[in-house]
Amino acid sequence: MKLNKKFILDAVEEHGTPLLIVDHDIIRQNYAAFRKHLPRIQAYYAVKAFTNEEIVKTLFNAGCSFDVASMPEFNMVYECVKYMPPQRRQDWIWDKIIYAHPIKSESTLRELDKYKPLVTYDNREEIRKIRKNAPNAGLALRLKVPNTGAMVELSSKFGASPGEAVDLILAADKAGLTVEGISFHVGSQTTNFQNYVQAINLAANVFQEARSRGYRKMNLLDIGGGFPAPYDKSVRPFRELARTINSELNRLFPKDIQILAEPGRFIVATAATEVSQIIGKAVRDGKLCYYINDGVYHTFSGIIFDHCSYHFESLKGGKKELCTVFGPTCDALDVVSMSEMLPSRLKIGDVLTSRNIGAYSIVSSTSFNGFPSAKILHINN
């Protein structure tokens, strides 16, 4: 639904601020668009992008699967899975959940083992840990691939080099484990589509080398996340990226290879709008400054942790000027924006909104300085 002025003001009147409004119709639309443009790929929503039970339920009911990276995330998804008929539940674990954190504690592996999960790994020590603590797991080798142009780079922290990949596959096989396939991640909010081209080609080369060295058990490719949200006009349409990916997958991977992906930001970024109120106003060094009751320690944490920029809209009109928007805490780090064009006559209590803030925002919220996190309002028609 469209968040018009009346709806927002009524929501503020009923729920107060700060408020994060989540539109589940947009979540369903984004998931449907992903499936439409990438028909070979099963989407495993990256729960860490916005870890929320209501969102998980909406996507589960739409047919989505899930990428989890912690036991709380796993258990949140399993709350949906466990209501399936017992005879189907275990068979659906791999269809519904991949534990895609390459580095796992031994206690986590022991807890996972009873589910016979699909997990990722990228080094020999992880093989030893999995063999000892989760021998019933299936494995996907996480491959290091180019992250050029990604907003958040991941390849320096995770991923086996292509040159050692098959050695790690054979080492897992020798340890009595089954490597089901290859996974990679091109970096979060990747607008450089060639990252996917290079990564898919690297993965295909690893498949080929593994077969040439006698390992023929792999039938899965996980192309990870990174699918960009349309924050601004510089982001090319998703359908263009999908054409590129489809072309490479169809060229390099036969139909019997299962393809999955881990979209997070793409699914939820555009589905949430933050609503805050002005709690202070000042002129500093000749520049108008507004203080709001939400900030970088709360819903706008993506400024710090996600390298993301957010912008504001006012529900009131009037002549605009360049402003700074500060968060509510006493920390000078709490700067939401240094360059917002907002009406100069806004008053204490007036409302500002910030769109496209559903990904990696409130999930990193803290209670620093005693200020509460935004209340989440779900619109789920």
Span 207-260, pLDDT tens digits: 999 999 999 999 999 999 999 999 988 899 999 999 999 999 999 999 999 999
To the nearest 10°, the Cα dihedral for 191, 25, 5, 233? 20
Q: Which residues contact 315 (CB under 8 A, 6 or more apart)?
A: 5, 8, 9, 350, 351, 352, 353
Q: How confident is the model over 28-57, as pLDDT tens digits?
A: 999 999 999 999 999 999 999 999 999 999
**152 and 192 both lie in a single domain:** yes
**9 and 42 both lie in a single domain:** no
Cα(101)–Cα(172) distance, integer angstroms:
17
Q: How does residue 80 score in pLDDT terms, banded at 50, 70 and 90?
A: confident
**250 and 353 both lie in a single domain:** no
**256 and 133 both lie in a single domain:** yes
Closest by alpha carbon to 148, among 79, 220, 196?
196
- Percentage of the residues of the chain whose pLDDT score is greater than 90: 84
Q: How confident is the model over 148-198, as pLDDT tens digits?
A: 765 665 676 789 999 999 999 999 999 999 999 999 999 888 888 899 999
Q: State the pLDDT at residue 15.
A: 97
What are the DSSP E strand ranges found in the chain? 19-23, 41-46, 65-68, 97-99, 118-121, 138-143, 150-152, 178-184, 188-190, 220-222, 258-261, 272-284, 287-292, 313-314, 320-326, 335-343, 351-354, 375-379
Q: State the pLDDT at residue 138.
A: 96
pTM score, whole prediction: 0.94
Structure tokens at 62: 């739409």
pLDDT of 265 strictly over 90: yes
**208 and 275 both lie in a single domain:** no
106-to-127, 135, 231 alpha-carbon distances in Å = 11, 12, 39
Q: How does residue 90 score in pLDDT terms, banded at 50, 70 and 90?
A: low
pLDDT of 349 strictly over 90: yes
Q: With contact defined as beta carbons under 8 Å apart, do 244 and 201 qualify?
A: no
Structure tokens at 173: 């096989």
Active site residue 330: yes
Domain boundary among 268, 289, 307: 268
Question: Would you give the distance in Å from CA 200 to the centre of its chain?
Answer: 20
Domain boundary among 204, 235, 268: 268
Helix axes 71-81 and 106-113, enclosed angle (nearest 10): 10
Cα(23)–Cα(3) distance, integer angstroms:
9
**195 and 52 both lie in a single domain:** yes
**286 and 365 both lie in a single domain:** yes
361-to-184, 279, 284, 365 alpha-carbon distances in Å = 24, 21, 28, 7
Q: 37: domain CATH number?
A: 3.20.20.10
- Percentage of the residues of the chain whose pLDDT score is greater than 70: 94
* Amino acid code (one letter) for 320: K
Residue 291 dihedral angles phi and psi, to the nearest 5°: -115, 130
Catalytic residue among 80, 289, 323, 330: 330
Phi-psi region of 97 (alpha: psi -120 to 50; beta: other; left: phi over 0): beta
- β-bridge mates for residue 352, sequence order: 276, 314
- β-bridge mates for residue 188, sequence order: 152
Q: Which residues contact 303 (CB under 8 A, 6 or more apart)?
A: 296, 309, 310, 336
**208 and 307 both lie in a single domain:** no
Cα(136)–Cα(134) distance, integer angstroms:
5
State how many domains the chain has.
Answer: 2
**340 and 191 both lie in a single domain:** no
pLDDT of 92 strictly over 80: no
Q: Give the count of beta carbons closer than 10 Å to the beta carbon of residue 176.
A: 8
HSE-CB at 336 with a 13 A cutoff on CA atoms is 31
Q: What is the mean pLDDT of the chain?
A: 93
**81 and 121 both lie in a single domain:** yes
Q: How does residue 287 score in pLDDT terms, banded at 50, 70 and 90?
A: very high
Radius of gyration of the chain (CA): 23
Domain boundary among 268, 303, 332: 268
**45 and 85 both lie in a single domain:** yes
* Amino acid code (one letter) for 144: K
Q: With contact defined as beta carbons under 8 Å apart, do 193 and 236 qualify?
A: yes
252: containing domain: 24-268
**149 and 227 both lie in a single domain:** yes
Cα(251)–Cα(241) distance, integer angstroms:
16
